[in-house]
Every structure is written in C-alpha cells, then in structure tokens.
Amino acid sequence: MNDADFPAPYQDSMDTLENPDTRPKMTLFEIPANFQAIKAADLELAYEWRMYSRVVFELFFSHGYLITDFIFMPGKDPRGFYLLSHGEATMGV
C-alpha cells in the first residue's frame, strides 16, 4: 500500500514459468478493483499498474497462457482477478 492506501504492484519472481514441470495450469492475477480511483488520485501509481500489468500479461502470453475469466468479488473491499489458463486447463464449470 502506498501513502494514500492504494495497493502498489507486487514485484514477484515468475521463475516457475520457465520450467514446464513447475508451470501452474491456472493462475490468478489480481488488479486493483478501484483502478479509476487510483487514476484520479495518483496518475504515477496508475501508470505503474498499467506497465506492471502489461509485463505480467506479456510474460504469461509468451508461455502459452490465455485469459479465460475475470472474477470480481464485490463488497466493502472489492477485489478483481484475471484467471489465466495454460493449455486445456479449465475450472471444471
């Protein structure tokens, strides 16, 4: 969280994608549900989120992942997630 209580991108190591044996079939990528509020309050942080999202999506796409769903959890502290799936993986729905 930054000084205005907005989430900052989490710089994670994505080493597991390089090895097909450790590559997850599905993964969630969380984005701020309040992105428009972030954009209105802190353009620099909004830009950081856009660039971070681009890097994450390009990395996963280059390893054969597709966006297969978007999950939104409403409430007091809403959350939003992209579901990325590799190969024939599904949630079984």
pLDDT digit string, tens, across residues 18-74: 888 888 899 999 999 999 999 999 999 999 999 999 999 999 999 999 999 999 999
Q: Given this model, what pLDDT does residue 3 score? A: 63
Closest C-alpha among 60, 83, 88 to residue 71: 83
Cα 54 from Cα 50, distance rounded (Å): 6
Cα 45 from Cα 39, distance rounded (Å): 7
- Asked whether residue 11 carries a pLDDT value surpassing 90, the answer given is no
Interacting residues of 20 by C-beta distance below 8 A, sequence separation 6+: none
**3-class DSSP state for residue 24?**
coil
H-helix segments, 7-82: 35-41, 43-62
- Asked whether residue 85 carries a pLDDT value surpassing 90, the answer given is yes
Q: Given this model, what pLDDT does residue 46 score? A: 94
Q: Given this model, what pLDDT does residue 26 score? A: 92
